[in-house]
Amino acid sequence: MPVTLFCPAKLNLYLAVTGRRADGFHDLVSVVAPLAFGDELEAERRAGGGAEARFTLACDAPGVPLDGTNLVLKAAQAFAAATGWDGAVHFRLQKRIPTGAGLGGGSSNAVAALRALDRLAGTALSAERLEALAAGLGSDCALFLRSGPVVMRGRGERVEDLPASAAARLRGRRVIVFKPSFGIATPWAYGRMVTRGADYVARDEAEAALARWRADATAPVAALLANNMQPAAFEKYVALPLLLARLRREFGVAALMSGSGSACFAVIDDPAPEPAIVACIRECWGEQAIVAATALA
């Protein structure tokens, strides 16, 4: 029987990029929460092997690469190399998470592929082995092995669960996620931070700000929100800050860009104005904008 898994999108509720590393990556401190919104990946064993590609992929969204550049197929190859499993699998991806958005869609798909293969192969890999495989695929892959809000450090490969009391303040919170018709390439965003040079946050300062929010049981979600990748993105893509400012002004919501963008989100305390907020987003960004009213998982 095929294995079907949900691939959640993620939001960076708190993102402090603290500096560039010697290996070219960046160090960061980030609070990340999965969403109830995402893709769906089905994996089915099939006959194959030899000269025929062992792992194949179909997707319902145009423009998604179906070759070895896709993280689903990269994950499959990594799994086979690590375990020695010689089976063949066809993947079917229902794509809802937009690309170039900072929502982690490709990484979430990759981790779902690892989990699906682990079930199909009967290998029952330990959490540690799965996490090592995930970290090798991408900086933000490992977080999708957790089931709730996490803190990421290093280049994103060091992941720990947010303490239960702090996580409870996030789980179930309503959010509206919205992405304009354009995306932002992550390498460009980090490269622009390097060029600007003044956007980094000191590690001690980043950790202290997070510690203060965690320690204050009365601190709202809005008090956590921060993203020092915004200035570089906002300098070029002015549609982002203009809309976020309007949402704050007209609806009193906390709003932020997620990750390297271009997707943004608003935290909703009262669901009543959700239709008006969605209408405002579409008025500003047009019908091409992707808008999803959902919740933190």
Query: Which residues are the active-site residues?
Result: 10, 140
CB 156 within 8 A of CB 38: no
The DSSP secondary structure of the chain, one letter per residue, reads --EEEEEEEEEEEEEEEEEE-TTS-EEEEEEEEEEEEEEEEEEEEES--TTS-SEEEEESSTT---STTSHHHHHHHHHHHHH----EEEEEEE--SPSSSSS-HHHHHHHHHHHHHHHHHT----HHHHHHHHHHH-TTTGGGGSSS-EEEETTTTEEEEPPHHHHHTTTT-EEEEEE-SS---HHHHHHHHHHH------HHHHHHHHHHHHH-TT--GGGT-EETTHHHHHHH-THHHHHHHHHHHHH--EEEE-TTSS-EEEEES-STTHHHHHHHHHHHH-TTSEEEEEEB-
